[in-house]
Amino acid sequence: MQREEKQLDSALEAIITRVNDLKSSISSMLFKLEHEYEMLNWPSFLDNFALIAGHLTSLSKILAHDKAPNLRSLTVLPLLLSPEKDDELMRMTEGRISTFAHDLVPDYLRTKPEPQAEQKMVQLEMKAANLSYDASHKQVTQYTKVINHVWEIANKAREEWESEAGARAAQAQTSSTADTHVLVAAVGMGKGLKSDSVQMVQSGNVGPGGMMVGRPGSQPGPGGPGPMGNPQMGQMGKAPSAIKTNIKAASQIHPYGR
């Protein structure tokens, strides 16, 4: 009896360890799905899924080992039922179960599915058993055809995405980041401008719109502003009017002659 009890304790300890590893892997995967879904990619998801599958395989090997006790022949019986809150039970169940009362024990210690679920499983098993080989083979063939069609669509979309990405990468670059930075620095801070242009700006020889203006007291040149200058320039950089006028003498337009 002592040997069997030791084997049972060691087997239960190994099972609990594997179950805790499985639980931590599932919790990590759920946390990533809920909080890191923007950065989660498909290879990382497959790695987490493979880790969970490895824990399940290890747990199955422990249960199927020859030295492992047959847990199906063992029964779990409650030793104490109390409707009061149990702190030790809260610690053992990580805060999921607070009381071990009469109405909760059948659900906590259940070793079989609920009656409704068990009845549904029996109906599905009977339906599968009554299905003929030809009908099942036909359904499998149709299901395989649908899967292959979806697989072809996914592969075609992937090829199109890859070709578009390659075409965008092969396009010639039409802009230069360095030239853009140089232009912004020249416009905003005057960096890289020639010395004569800087002196003209500082001395006030450049007016609004980039037109040359004279200093106070200087005579306007032939091309400068003024009555004798270019009429399109206007005075002090005034924009020329787009409306043309034709002024005639008053004697020509007066209806009554003298």
Residue 100, class by beta-carbon neighbours within 10 Å (0-12 exposed, 13-18 middle, 19+ buried)? buried
Look at the domain 1-74 and name its fold.
Methane Monooxygenase Hydroxylase; Chain G, domain 1 (1.20.58)
* Structure confidence by residue, pLDDT tens digits, 162-188: 888 877 777 666 778 888 888 888 888
Domain ranges of the chain: 1-74, 76-111, 114-163
Cα distance between residue 209 and residue 186, in whole Å: 17
- Alpha carbon dihedral 239, 240, 242, 247, in 10-degree steps, equals 140
pLDDT at residue 217 in the model: 46
Cα distance between residue 10 and residue 128, in whole Å: 40
Cα distance between residue 30 and residue 24, in whole Å: 10
Note whether 213 and 237 are within 8 A (CB): yes
Query: pTM of the entire structure?
Result: 0.41
Cα distance between residue 71 and residue 64, in whole Å: 11
Cα distance between residue 177 and residue 179, in whole Å: 6
More confident residue, 131 or 17: 17
* Structure confidence by residue, pLDDT tens digits, 118-157: 899 999 999 888 888 888 889 899 999 999 999 999 999 9
